[in-house]
Amino acid sequence: MSLMNRRECVIGSALLLTMLVGCGDPQLSALEGELESLRGRPSGQVQELPPQPVYHPVTYDMADARSPFQSRLPEPEEELTAVDNGVRPDLDRAREPLEAWPMEQLSMVGTLDVDGTRSALILTPAQEVQRVRVGNHMGSNFGRIVRIGDTQLDMIEIVPNGQGGWIERTRAMALAEPVQKGG
C-alpha cells in the first residue's frame, strides 16, 4: 500500500470508531425503553372517513345570454319614419369658398358698408379674409347668412334631425375680439 492509501485507511477507521463511541450513549438506552413502552400501549381508533359525496356536473345553459358582467344593451327603438317638413339642403347649388370649413374655425373680424350694403369680413384658418353678404353660405352645415349687424351676423343652418330628415337651426357669429400684439 502506498502512503496515501494508508493515510486514508487510518482516517476512515478513526471516523468509524468515533461514530461507534457516540452510539454507546446512556441516554440512548433510555430512549429505547420509552419507545418500547409506547409500542406496548393499546393503539387508538381512527374514525372512518365520511363517504365522499357524489359529484353531479351542472351544464351552463346561459352561454348565449347576456353576461352579467356587461351593461345592458339598449332596447332597439322603433323604426322612426322621417317626417318631411320640406327642409332640406340644396345639394345642386355650387358650394361657396367659406363652406370648406366648419363654423368653429371661422371668425368675424369686421364689417364693411359700401353703397348702403353691409358686408362681414370673415377670417379663415388659412389666414385669408373673405367678404360675405346676406344670402351667402358658410360653414359645413349649409349655413345661409340672413342678417349682418354691427357686432354679429345671424345665419340659418340646415342640420340632420337624427330621424332621417333635416331641421333649420339659427346660429350667430359675434365679432372677434382684437388680438393684442406685443406687450
Q: Which CATH number characterizes residue 142's domain? A: 2.30.30.830
Q: What's the gap between Cα 138 and its chain centre?
A: 36
Residue 172 · residue 152 · CB < 8 Å: yes
Q: What is the number of domains present in the chain?
A: 1
Q: Does the pTM exceed 0.85?
A: no
**C-alpha–C-alpha distance, residues 52 and 143, integer Å:** 80
Q: DSSP letter for 175, please.
A: B
Query: Distance between CA atoms of 130 and 120, rounded to whole angstroms?
Result: 8
Task: Note whether residue 183 is domain-resident.
Answer: no
pLDDT in tens, 18-36: 776 666 666 777 888 888 8
In a domain, 158, yes or no: yes
pLDDT tens digits, residue range 52-61?
989 888 888 8
Q: Is residue 5 part of a domain?
A: no
Domain around 112: 98-174
Q: Say if CB 66 and CB 72 are below 8 A apart.
A: yes
Is 54 within the bounds of a domain?
A: no
**Gyration radius (Cα) of the chain, Å:** 50
Does 39 fall in a domain?
Answer: no
Predicted pLDDT of residue 148: 96
